[in-house]
Amino acid sequence: MANLEKRELLYEGKAKKVYLTSEDDKLIQEFKDDATAFDGMKKGTIGNKGEINNAISSYLFEYLENYHIPTHFIEKISSNEMVVKKLQIIPIEVVMRNVAAGSLCTRYKIPEATIMEYPILEYYLKNDELHDPMINEYHAYAFGHATPDEVRAINRIASKVNAILKFFFDRRNLILVDFKLEFGKRNNEIYLADEISPDTCRIWDKKTHKKLDKDRFRHDMGGVEKAYLELRDRIINA
């Protein structure tokens, strides 16, 4: 990517900035230190989060590519930037849950850390104004966000990612509690997009259940940056 130029800002989100580049089909994702939670109600920053999340996300996308998961990742080009394929993002957040935490506990009155018999796949509409309401696949078809074939592809990729990453984290004495994925389309192909990081996953130490993810920020547990760094080192330097 030696001669890829960063051009105008396409979109600034809550945790990243997305830039056009000198190549039509490539974008640069720049990871910010900004953190938000509870629908943007809580705002703050986490020291070095941009670099940590870019490092973790780049590593995991590359890892998944080795298992033939189609991802938007092309190359990490600096501490807080990666080049990705430009996609048409499907405005659905796909959540996969292995262990009960967060909204699952409140919505269904299940104690945190309950191990589920079977992973749970959920869909939420990616719409801040509507506060990301939960939907099912029929909403996705009816609203024109994805076809049944596309939803099947998304489900297959999400389940495969879960199987791969569950073992990946288990080998590092970590529990993959849950995670959120985003997908995009290009030329009728579905790709895994966005990021995979402690902002978008819940990950606990296997023995102590110490949280190594954004829940530390959400619930003012302290040691947020330290936990993100610990997770990065346990993922990358294992």
Task: Give contact residues for ligand ADP (rule: CB under 6 A).
Answer: 11, 13-16, 18, 27, 72, 84-87, 89, 182, 184, 193-194
CB-based contact 181:96 (threshold 8 Å):
yes
Q: Which is nearer to ligand ADP, 87 or 227 (CB)?
A: 87
Residue 84 C-beta: closest distance to ligand ADP, Å: 4
Residue 113 C-beta: closest distance to ligand ADP, Å: 27
Residue 62 C-beta: closest distance to ligand ADP, Å: 15
CA-atom Rg of the chain in angstroms? 17
Identify the three-state secondary structure at position 236.
helix
φ, ψ of residue 102 in degrees (nearest 5): 60, -135
Q: Which is nearer to ligand ADP, 82 or 231 (CB)?
A: 82
If you ran DSSP here, which 8-state letter would residue 15 be given? S
Q: Which is nearer to ligand ADP, 86 or 97 (CB)?
A: 86
Residue 74 C-beta: closest distance to ligand ADP, Å: 10
Residue 107: exposure state from Cβ atoms within 10 A (0-12, 13-18, ≥19): exposed
Centroid of chain to Cα 209 = 21
Q: Which is nearer to ligand ADP, 114 or 127 (CB)?
A: 127
Q: Which is nearer to ligand ADP, 18 or 120 (CB)?
A: 18
CB-based contact 69:57 (threshold 8 Å):
no
Q: Which residues of 113-147 are buried (b: 16+ CB within 10 A; e: fewer)?
A: eeeeeebebbbbbbeeeeebeebebeebeeeebbe
Residue 238 C-beta: closest distance to ligand ADP, Å: 26
What sign for the dihedral angle of Cα 26, 50, 63, 190? negative
Residue 215 C-beta: closest distance to ligand ADP, Å: 18
Q: Which is nearer to ligand ADP, 85 or 234 (CB)?
A: 85
